[in-house]
Structure 1
Amino acid sequence: MSKTKPAPLPPDTVIGGYRIVRLLATGGFGLVYLALDASGQEVAIKEYLPAALATRATGELLPQVAPDKQALYRLGLRSFFEEGRALAQIAHPAVVGVHNFFRENDTVYMVMDYLRGASLQEFIVAARGRQGKKVLREGTIRSLFDEVLRGLRIVHQHKMLHLDIKPANIFITDDNRAVLIDFGAAREVLNTEGTFVRPMYTPGFAAPEMYRRSAASAGLGPWTDIYAIGACMLSCMQGFPPHDALQRQEKDRLAQALTRLRGVYSEDLLRIVEWCMALDPLSRPQSVFALQRDLAHEATPALPAPSSRWTRLRARLALFGWGRAARIASGNGR
């Protein structure tokens, strides 16, 4: 298979009744487009097209898959389709809305909300640039992840896992909603069944059980996403990702990282992060509900109104040239 990345669909291509406007993002697992529906409403369309398995020439619609990659390509395609079907049943403000999913051009397309705003990762970078004692305030962290956990709890109730929670996949919209985007279940299927040069998980946020390929799905559960939630909270506190889980298994420096944050954040919040990021899955919260209850247990100072919570950070983003431009992350460009 050629190392050339699959070419995106050209502007004005019509698929499933949607007209492609332009490419938004690309990565190892697929491509994301801005498109218009029949009424002229903007949507984001994600196309299943893993670069390790398929290629596509410029101007073509159909991907080319080598015979020895066909079985794995079909496995991932089926998982991606089922993921779209499951997400379409979830209606929650903290979970990206999936309006449609369909097969065409020997692949699958997922039609989602087109979000305007910036990722939590961009907010962390902007806050880190202030070089203050705290990256994000504790009240902001608690409020943000209470919102994220409400959405994640619904996802788990639908017997789904996200499997790629990280700051780049938590989107802060212009109307101040925290939204989980870019689910990774189909990606995990390919990572488990196939042989890839680059893993399809995100070091620092992936739980240790995600690194065990053989019968990996047997060890995955809500606790796997909860590990990533803890890692995201730690990133909001220290301004950069935690150490990779494999590094931690050799020499765990989490305690030292949390010690440096003592006196900056409450002992309760540090304890919650340590609980979520336990290397042993059985030592973590076993459900989102258990974590929600603990996160809300300690009273926190009154939070700013939602409309003003991110005002100063948005101003900082504008300095970096991000502004309030429309964005949606593909989450797989690693």
Structure 2
Amino acid sequence: MSKLKPSPLPADTLIGGYRVVRRVAAGGFGVVYLALGPDGQQVAIKEYLPASLATREPGALSPQVPAEKLSLYRLGLKSFFEEGRSLAQISHPSVVSVMNFFRENDTVYMVMNYLEGASLQDYIITARDLKQLKVFRESTIRSLFDEILRGLRIVHQHKMLHLDIKPANVFITDDNKAVLIDFGAAREVLSKEGNFIRPMYTPGFAAPEMYRRDSTMGPWTDIYAIGACIYACMQGYPPNEATQRVPTDRMVVALKRLQGVYSDNLIEVVQWCMALDAQARPQSVFALQKELNRAGERQYTRLSVGEKVRMRFDDMVEGTKKSVIKATDPGNRSP
């Protein structure tokens, strides 16, 4: 029998002056709640609650952690707290805004602005189902990732890495902003200390070095994931897992089929970002931005990201959109 997931906090629970309304998402590393602040403002609260290390009975507030897992739980807790501290220093429309973070109930909570809209993953799935030659227009892809990279560049300037960039963690809001959510600092710390590296990462979007304990990660690690996201926007599906690309790299063949559908430049950008050798990738977001915005390649009307993405779905029902923030690890569900 599989282990039961820790129970979420009950509705109306008060934590740090915020009142829990309901759970909106849950994953292997935590739970996200819709909550109300003292002024009645809606916020999203992310709770550190790794299912592999802790349990919690229905109605209880504090997690129960077995003695043999306590040191690892505390290590992740510290990393999660430091992540909140670092994100609170970043103010950029393309990075999830952390308004507050605090310790309570033997865990840590991160208070973020509540986002309404849909994830890039939702849009990819909808666009793919239209079965047209192009999943997204090239102009849409370039516009979208130009905005995402502006936010990621600020993150890297603050000496942080995202470590879990994928379409489910790119949120397109109702007011036309593309926002990076669900950073993976605690996930990375636990993977290096524990014996369960593979479940930490989303297949297809994780760089090869994320599977090796002795490897160095840096901006190039997030850049691999950016390339994988662009690939998903072109193909409608994620690329093969990095470990499967070593013996036979089918990604190259798949991209060749897109020649004439997308520009050679965009195809080359994806191949550059997703090089198996970390040193062969762009070493900085700036280098990637420079290529993605190269004169002659980026010719299109400057619409907002939301407007360009939604151009694909004028004939789709409004019910496709979802008003949730996937700001915790949503597992390995991929487009």
- Give the TM-score band, short-chain normalised: over 0.9
Q: What are structure 1's unaligned runs of at least 5 residues?
A: none
2:79 and 2:186 in contact (8 A); partners too: yes
1:308, 1:237 → 2: CA distance?
18
Percentage of matched positions with identical amino acids: 65
Match of 2:80 in 1: 80
Determine helix, strand or coil for the equivalent of 2:246. Answer: helix
Matched, 1:115 2:112: no
Residue 168 of structure 1: how far off its partner (Å):
0.4
2:198 and 2:211 in contact (8 A); partners too: no
Determine helix, strand or coil for the equivalent of 1:118. Answer: strand
Residue 172 of structure 1: how far off its partner (Å):
0.5
Residue 327 of structure 1: how far off its partner (Å):
1.2
Q: What does residue range 153-232 of structure 1 map to in structure 2 within 5 Å?
A: 153-196=153-196, 199-212=199-212, 214-216=213-215, 219-232=216-229
AA partner of residue 225 (structure 2): A
2:32, 2:307 → 1: CA distance?
30
1:331, 1:297 → 2: CA distance?
35
1:52 and 1:196 in contact (8 A); partners too: no
1:272, 1:308 → 2: CA distance?
24
Match of 1:143 in 2: 143
AA partner of residue 329 (structure 2): N
1:168 and 1:331 in contact (8 A); partners too: no
Residue 220 of structure 1: how far off its partner (Å):
0.2
Normalised by the length of structure 2, the TM-score is 0.95
2:29 and 2:187 in contact (8 A); partners too: yes
Residue 198 of structure 1: how far off its partner (Å):
5.4
1:218-255 CA-partner distances (Å, limit 9, x unpaired): x1000000000000000000000001000001211121
Out of 308-317 and 37-46, give the one that drifted further. 308-317
Q: 1:270 aligns with which of 241, 263, 267?
A: 267
Q: What does residue range 10-29 of structure 1 map to in structure 2 within 5 Å?
A: 10-29=10-29
2:127 and 2:313 in contact (8 A); partners too: no
Match of 1:297 in 2: 294
1:120-163 CA-partner distances (Å, limit 9, x unpaired): 01111111111111000000000100000000000000000000
Residue 317 of structure 1: how far off its partner (Å):
5.8
Q: What are structure 2's unaligned runs of at least 5 residues?
A: none
Residue 333 of structure 1: how far off its partner (Å):
2.7
1:123 and 1:313 in contact (8 A); partners too: no
Cα-Cα RMSD = 1.6
Match of 2:309 in 1: 310
AA partner of residue 247 (structure 1): Q
Aligned length: 329
Match of 1:92 in 2: 92
1:271, 1:115 → 2: CA distance?
33
Determine helix, strand or coil for the equivalent of 1:61. Answer: coil
2:219 and 2:284 in contact (8 A); partners too: yes
2:29 and 2:328 in contact (8 A); partners too: no
1:206, 1:80 → 2: CA distance?
20
2:35, 2:81 → 1: CA distance?
19
Q: Aligned pair in 2 of structure 1 residues 128, 304: CA closer, same or farther (>3 Å)?
A: farther
Match of 1:255 in 2: 252
Determine helix, strand or coil for the equivalent of 1:265. Answer: coil
AA partner of residue 293 (structure 2): A
Match of 1:329 in 2: 326
Normalised by the length of structure 1, the TM-score is 0.95
Determine helix, strand or coil for the equivalent of 1:64. Answer: coil
Residue 4 of structure 1: how far off its partner (Å):
1.3
1:29, 1:16 → 2: CA distance?
20
Q: Aligned pair in 2 of structure 1 residues 136, 60: CA closer, same or farther (>3 Å)?
A: same
1:298, 1:140 → 2: CA distance?
16
Determine helix, strand or coil for the equivalent of 1:54. Answer: coil
Residue 76 of structure 1: how far off its partner (Å):
0.2
